[in-house]
A and B are shown apart, each in its own frame.
Chain A
Amino acid sequence: MFSFIARRLGLLIPTFFGVTLLTFSLIRLIPGDPVEVMMGERRVDPQMHAEALHRLGLDKPLYQQYFDYLGNLAHGNLGQSLVTRDNVWHEFTTLFPATMELALCAMIFATVLGLLAGVIAALKRGSLLDHGVMGISLTGFSMPIFWWGLILIMFFSVRLGWTPVSGRLDLLYDIEPKTGFMLIDTLLSDEEGAFVDALHHLILPSIVLGTIPLAVIARMTRSAMLEVLREDYVRTARAKGLSPARVVFVHALRNALIPVLTVLGLQVGSLLAGAVLTETIFSWPGVGKWLIDAIARRDYPVVQNGILLIATLVIIVNFVVDILYGLANPRIRHQR
């Protein structure tokens, strides 16, 4: 097991360097430097331009900038935003809880409904219900997030007035962020009704962000369930006279969950990708929106390190999943 973990860890190092090199070069391939972008339509005074580039360390040769960047990383220094001059780590930790909270809620929504829909479709295979559920899930999978978000806002927020249009909390609540997780912060505050209001604000963004994972989970659950339901032990369980609910949820679903869990792990990446659009529509102050702004403003340290942090997170999740697989399945552990 030790050598398995060591092998996996060994693979992490080139992946990590690959990410640093890729983000470093890609952001610099976009035309325009941060000073030019800041000036907008204004004339850039060449002397001022040169001074600003020097102050930002962007007048050095590219290889030197890259090694400086790696050197800073080795010291745990993620640098400062060129635009706000705030520490990148501070900005990330301020905004990441918002993304995390939204992603978690979206995942809960997708998992609960996805599993339910998948099980129902599998049990009623070939029926109108099966076709309906799978049709809806295919539609959900193909839904453009921007359009879907706006439709929900127009219907539930503007027409019915049931949910807020955007944001994380009614602006009349002025709550000091402690953990960055609005549900926790509102619980810790004395403001009456703030928690319910925060929950309120989570409904539409969670549905929008959770729609695609929901569709994937539903389809995956259905096919896994169909396979498991054909297994001998399910037939045996039925023959023993167990109640249908017990057969489905204890014997079948439990085994069908293994491939579904794999998909859940993979959805972490797509949730973060989807968060970019969802955060924009719902004015959700998370890391997706932060990165988009940083790209537009050529804020090199934010783009490089923001992506690096997110990539590290995905790498860690995958690493943990790999280890768990290894623990669960010796055949994977011993593969070379």
Chain B
Amino acid sequence: MRITLLPSLLVASLLAGPSLAHAANTLVYCSEASPAGFDPAQYTSGTEFDASAETVFNRLVQFERGGTTLVPGLAERWDVSEDGKTYTFYLRRGVKFHTTDYFKPTREFNADDVLFTFQRMLDKNHPFRTAYPSEFPYFSDMGLNKNIARIEKKDDYTVVFTLNQTDAAFASDLAMSFASIQSAEYADQLLKTGKAAEINQRPIGTGPFVFSRYQKDAVIRYKGNQDYWKPEDVKLDNLIFAITTDAATRLQKLKANECQVSGYPRPADIAEMKQDPALKVLQQPGFNLGYFAYNVTHPPLDQLAVRQALDMAINKKAILDVVYQGNGQLATNALPPAQWSYDQTIKDAPYDPEKAKALLKQAGIKKGTEISLWAMPVVRASNPNARLSAQMVQSDWAKIGIKANIVSYEWGEYIKRARQGEHDVMIYGWTGDNGDPDNWLGVLYSCDAVNGSNYSKWCDPAYDALIKQAKVSNDRDERIRLYQQAQHLLKAAVPITPIAHSIVYQPMRHNVQGFKISPFGLSAFYGVSLAE
């Protein structure tokens, strides 16, 4: 009897079919990984930001949905002083923090919450940080730990930030996920009950969705915030993240309507998704760049002629067709076209192996000269297959007599060694953080970044002067002019070969309405609804 019971039950359940139809107002998102926590300030990746910053929290200023333009968030407006060093934020009134079974707010959002959010990141001796030691990598990476001199509360609804140095990108930095506004009252409650660590497990924010429950590695549940300060943005009763790490399984779940939106599709699956009548695939040029960085401190790459020769010997079109499978746009510049200040007049040197050979000959480079070519071990939006790109370029360069040896390391090691400048040529990619040109031209190619993300180790004082001048100017037109001059200097010096801006795809069921692809690679569900 015992033996026969189970098969009978299995058969019975098999025939019964799925027992629940999906409720009209619950959206299931197949997310790609488990978040490490729900305190956005502690993290740097989209998985954590999607699960916290984009759902539970707001920031003082925010990026418009699907764009890079700044719009008011918890601050209704803000002023910048003449010297660009003082930012005054006028806070929105009537904003409620979430009420949950673990926190019931007694007051509305005010300046104390802004102060708590930023003081915790600034002050190593902040009581909350003492109780719950944490690092805030993005905050320090954007230089805010050094540049914010002080934060003052003028009154309950006015906060003043004073900077050490003018930074035209400051407001954009505050719109980034890590700068999400926490509740000071909730933090007090956690401190008093000795549960400070729960700030990372049970988030309280002012955002469009209220955190409900996280079942580790399986599901995150949110409820639509009925008290949201922008009620028109909350169109879902329930939002569920179904954690589905395997991309092939995510596709099958989407097809079976077990989720209505799915993250991070594989490029190879796009065609199949487009053919499925139940699905639609949104797409837009990515706010990213895949490129080859030449280490200008290593001979023979210290010679401009050699870099020019390598640059013009790369058959970019072939890489776009094979590696990106056509899902990209040829890159000619050091930043994507969607970034304001992008200079349209910058053109590539035409693909010309013969001219490249001649250049190498002039530079005295012998046939068979060896260089190392580093290929990222990971898939990135900016380059879906770095190894294949490396193999194609290896064969391109072999034609002009350069022997490229492909090197790869585990990702952490790859970045670490590349920062130390061990590579000759390196494949890398970048997706914009805050929609400011400095996030490209400063972070990736400036002298200050030589020990950071400037993997060309290229440092040109003339270029650097332009970038620095642009960063401290509050005149947008002047900044555009300076950045465009810098782009020309950079193009002429060939520290990099830009390859492509990949197209970003977002598959979903047909009944999902109002979804917009974020240029920053995030998934936001406010303003999204489900048709009947």
Q: How many B residues touch A, CB cutoff 8 Å?
A: 65
Query: Pick the contact of A95 from B22, B23, B200, B216 — CB < 8 Å?
Result: B216
**Chain B residues in 8 Å Cβ range of A280:** 245-246
Would B217 and A285 count as touching, CB distance under 8 A? yes
Would B18 and A166 count as touching, CB distance under 8 A? no
Would B135 and A48 count as touching, CB distance under 8 A? yes
In the complex, A87 Cα to B197 Cα: how many Å?
A: 12
Would A32 and B14 count as touching, CB distance under 8 A? no
**Chain A residues in 8 Å Cβ range of B243:** 283, 285
Would A163 and B3 count as touching, CB distance under 8 A? no
Q: A31-B413, A164-B256, A172-B20 are in contact. Are A40 and B45 (CB under 8 A)?
A: yes
In the complex, A281 Cα to B28 Cα: how many Å?
A: 18
Closest to A54 in B: B133
Closest to B14 in A: A162
Query: Pick the contact of A171 from B19, B28, B416 — CB < 8 Å?
Result: B28
Which of A119-127, A193-201, A258-266, A311-319 is the contact stretch?
Answer: A193-201
Q: A164-B256, A164-B258, A166-B258 are in contact. Are A282 and B249 (CB under 8 A)?
A: yes
Q: Is the C-beta of B191 less than 8 angstroms from some C-beta in chain A?
A: no
Q: A283-B244, A293-B34 are in contact. Are A45 and B45 (CB under 8 A)?
A: no
Would B13 and A196 count as touching, CB distance under 8 A? yes
Would B141 and A42 count as touching, CB distance under 8 A? yes
Shortest CB-to-CB span from A61 to chain B, Å, is 21
**Chain A residues in 8 Å Cβ range of B201:** 84, 86
In the complex, A200 Cα to B15 Cα: how many Å?
A: 10
**Chain A residues in 8 Å Cβ range of B19:** 170, 193, 196-197, 200
In the complex, A45 Cα to B44 Cα: how many Å?
A: 14
Which of A71-79, A136-144, A152-160, A321-329 is the contact stretch?
Answer: A152-160
Say whether chain B's binding surface is mostly helix, strand, loop, or mixed.
mixed
Mark out the residues of chain A between 203 and 237 whose CB falls within 8 Å of any chain B CB in the assembled complex.
203
Q: Is the C-beta of B140 less than 8 angstroms from some C-beta in chain A?
A: yes
In the complex, A48 Cα to B141 Cα: how many Å?
A: 10
Interchain pairs with CB closer than 8 A, number: 167
In the complex, A244 Cα to B354 Cα: how many Å?
A: 85
Shortest CB-to-CB span from B144 to chain A, Å, is 12
Query: Interface digits, A77-91 against B, CB 8 Å rule (1 contact, 0 not)?
Result: 000000111100001
Would A193 and B137 count as touching, CB distance under 8 A? no
Mark out the residues of chain B between 380 and 420 whose CB falls within 8 Å of any chain A CB in the assembled complex.
409-413, 415-416, 419
**Chain A residues in 8 Å Cβ range of B267:** none
In the complex, A165 Cα to B250 Cα: how many Å?
A: 9
Would B137 and A38 count as touching, CB distance under 8 A? yes
Would A84 and B258 count as touching, CB distance under 8 A? no
Shortest CB-to-CB span from B125 to chain A, Å, is 13
Q: A84-B36, A84-B37, A172-B22 are in contact. Are A158 and B221 (CB under 8 A)?
A: no
Which of B4-12, B297-305, B359-367, B434-442 is the contact stretch?
Answer: B4-12
Chosen A-B contacts, 8 in total, with CB atoms closer than 8 Å, are A83-B37, A91-B216, A112-B6, A157-B252, A161-B17, A165-B252, A196-B12, A196-B19
**Given A38-B43, A45-B137, A167-B258, list of 6 further CB < 8 A pairs?**
A45-B141, A95-B217, A163-B14, A170-B20, A171-B242, A293-B33
